[in-house]
């Protein structure tokens, strides 16, 4: 049987998906490195060794690309927050798992784009859509904190402030993390989460063995 | 003696300084609310009830305004970090004082502009200048953490990570704080700093009375 030199419909669709993802990822990197406003679709095409019309076969516009990059970043966090929901442990255990995932995501291409560029440059309607996704994620974090307060693994506090302080400390990593620097992502993430959990104050070691962990 | 209806040179200079500061502050607010790229000098002029040529009497360009706004924000933090240096207490006490000042500054017009817009939209040379100021402030924070570790008020940790986690958690306030919301700035700042110092983990109250503070 002669194998057809033409691709099947399925193969073509998979091909297209892989190429579209490459366009988005390379654009996200360009936005993260140069800034959204300083990046043109010509830059993106050049990084991919293709022409600008080729890019338009996969995406509608620069705004469309940014929308997709931010949406993918948010979707990864949302999906991590759903997975976290299934795992056991105290509220604090689950918050630690969720914070750790969050921090890892915001150091990846789409997650960094979510933090470094975000929805601000987009038109009002798309901004609102992405902000609604953000609010949903934020409420998920708050409810895990509330569960931790209820099961006494987290001390009484304002869940909103904890959710924002965690998001701030961990999102900041996306700004300063340097892959060429001396610290790897896992060390940075683990130590920053540990700081949020245990604080920085020196305690009497005899009085509090648990703070040594 | 007849009082001259003309202003003295000193009065004219003071007038000019007050008006220049008004241009910068109103522009910072517009950038914070609408975004830098969506704000025109016409918007700024309109908010001040003056014409655009009047604005040009005080500033050279939109870039010049942003540079000044970010520089003023950074200068306030730098000056807080110098004042902190003079006050006594442990390294932890001084870090708490410095974090509290930092958080208050980033919720004000110029400080918010530093966080929400920052130096990213500016040309490379000015970006470098502002980043050098940022690096200096960051090193000041790190050295206070180091002093706290040395005097055993802060537990052993990576000063760089602590400085960044604090800056992240506190800068985030500039993004979400809503003057019309239920929490005032002082409560938010105090509780967020407290979280960074003590963490969120529930401890045995008998073993650790100091964590109740």
Dump pLDDT digits (tens) for B10-60.
888 898 999 999 999 999 999 999 999 999 999 999 999 999 999 999 999
**SS3 state at A201:** strand
The answer to whether residue B122 is domain-embedded is yes
Q: How far apart are CA A120 and CA B175, in angstroms?
A: 12
The answer to whether residue B206 is domain-embedded is yes
**pLDDT above 80: residue A1:** no
Domain range for B95 is 9-212
B16–chain A nearest CA distance, Å = 34
The answer to whether residue B14 is domain-embedded is yes
**CA distance to A32, B64, B83, per residue, from B123 (Å):** 16, 10, 32
Pick from A63, A202, A210 the residue to mutate for testing the B interface (most B CBs within 10 Å): A202
B167–chain A nearest CA distance, Å = 7
Q: How many helical (H) and strand (E) elements, i.e. helices and strands, does chain B have?
A: 9, 0
Is B161 close to A195, i.e. CB distance below 8 A? Answer: yes
Q: How far apart are CA B71 and CA A12, in angstroms?
A: 53
- Residue whose C-alpha is closest to residue B54's, from B65, B63, B42, B64: B42
Nearest CA in chain B to A159: B200
Q: How far apart are CA A165 and CA B192, in angstroms?
A: 7
**pLDDT above 70: residue A14:** yes
**pLDDT above 90: residue A165:** yes
The answer to whether residue B1 is domain-embedded is no
The answer to whether residue B198 is domain-embedded is yes
* Of residues B154, B164, B208, nearest to A200 (C-beta): B154
Handedness of CA B31, B33, B38, B44 (dihedral sign): negative
Q: How far apart are CA B72 and CA A43, in angstroms?
A: 34
Q: Is the ipTM of this complex over 0.90?
A: no
The answer to whether residue A176 is domain-embedded is yes
Q: How many CB atoms lie within 10 A of CB A128?
A: 11
Counting residues of chain B whose pLDDT is more than 90, the rounded percentage is: 79
Is A168 close to B164, i.e. CB distance below 8 A? Answer: no
The answer to whether residue B3 is domain-embedded is no
Residue B152 with chain A: CB contacts under 8 Å = 202
CA A118 to chain centre: 11
Question: The pTM is what?
Answer: 0.89
The residue length of chain B stands at: 213
User: What is the number of structural domains in chain B?
Assistant: 1
Q: How far apart are CA A43 and CA A30, in angstroms?
A: 8
* Of residues A35, A152, A200, nearest to B120 (C-beta): A35
* Of residues B153, B172, B208, nearest to A207 (C-beta): B208
pLDDT digits (tens, 9 = 90+) for B115-155: 999 999 999 999 999 999 999 999 999 999 999 999 999 99
Counted across chains A and B, CB pairs separated by less than 8 A come out at 143
Nearest CA in chain B to A38: B121
pLDDT digits (tens, 9 = 90+) for A187-213: 999 999 999 999 999 886 544 444 444
User: The domain spanning residue A92 has which CATH number?
Assistant: 1.10.357.10
pLDDT at B32: 95
pLDDT at B128: 96
Interface of A with B (CB under 8 A): 35, 37, 92, 95, 120-121, 145, 148, 152-155, 157-158, 161-162, 164-173, 175-176, 183, 188, 191-192, 195-203, 207-208, 210-211
pLDDT at B203: 80
The answer to whether residue A208 is domain-embedded is no
Residue A203 with chain B: CB contacts under 8 Å = 155, 208, 210-211
B197–chain A nearest CA distance, Å = 5
B62–chain A nearest CA distance, Å = 15
Which pLDDT band, with edges at 50, 70 and 90, does A53 fall under? very high
pLDDT at B205: 57
């Amino acid at each position: 049987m002669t194998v057809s030199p033409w691709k099947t419909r399925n193969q073509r669709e998979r091909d297209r998906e892989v190429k579209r993802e490459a366009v988005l990822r390379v654009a996200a990197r360009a936005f993260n490195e140069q800034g959204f406003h300083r990046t043109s679709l010509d830059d993106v095409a050049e990084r991919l060794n293709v022409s600008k019309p080729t890019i338009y076969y996969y995406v509608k516009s620069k705004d469309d690309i940014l929308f997709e990059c931010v949406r993918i970043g948010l979707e990864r966090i949302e999906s991590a927050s759903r997975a976290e929901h299934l795992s056991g442990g105290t509220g604090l255990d689950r918050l630690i798992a969720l914070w750790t995932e969050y921090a890892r995501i915001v150091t990846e291409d789409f997650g960094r784009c979510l933090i470094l560029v975000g929805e601000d440059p987009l038109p009002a309607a798309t901004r609102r859509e992405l902000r609604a996704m953000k609010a949903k994620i934020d409420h998920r974090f708050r409810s895990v904190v509330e569960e931790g307060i209820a099961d006494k693994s987290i001390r009484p506090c304002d869940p909103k402030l904890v959710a924002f302080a965690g998001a701030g400390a961990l999102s900041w990593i996306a700004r300063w993390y340097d892959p060429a620097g001396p610290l790897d992502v896992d060390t940075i993430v683990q130590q920053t989460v540990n700081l949020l959990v245990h604080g920085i104050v020196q305690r009497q070691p005899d009085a509090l063995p648990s703070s040594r962990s």
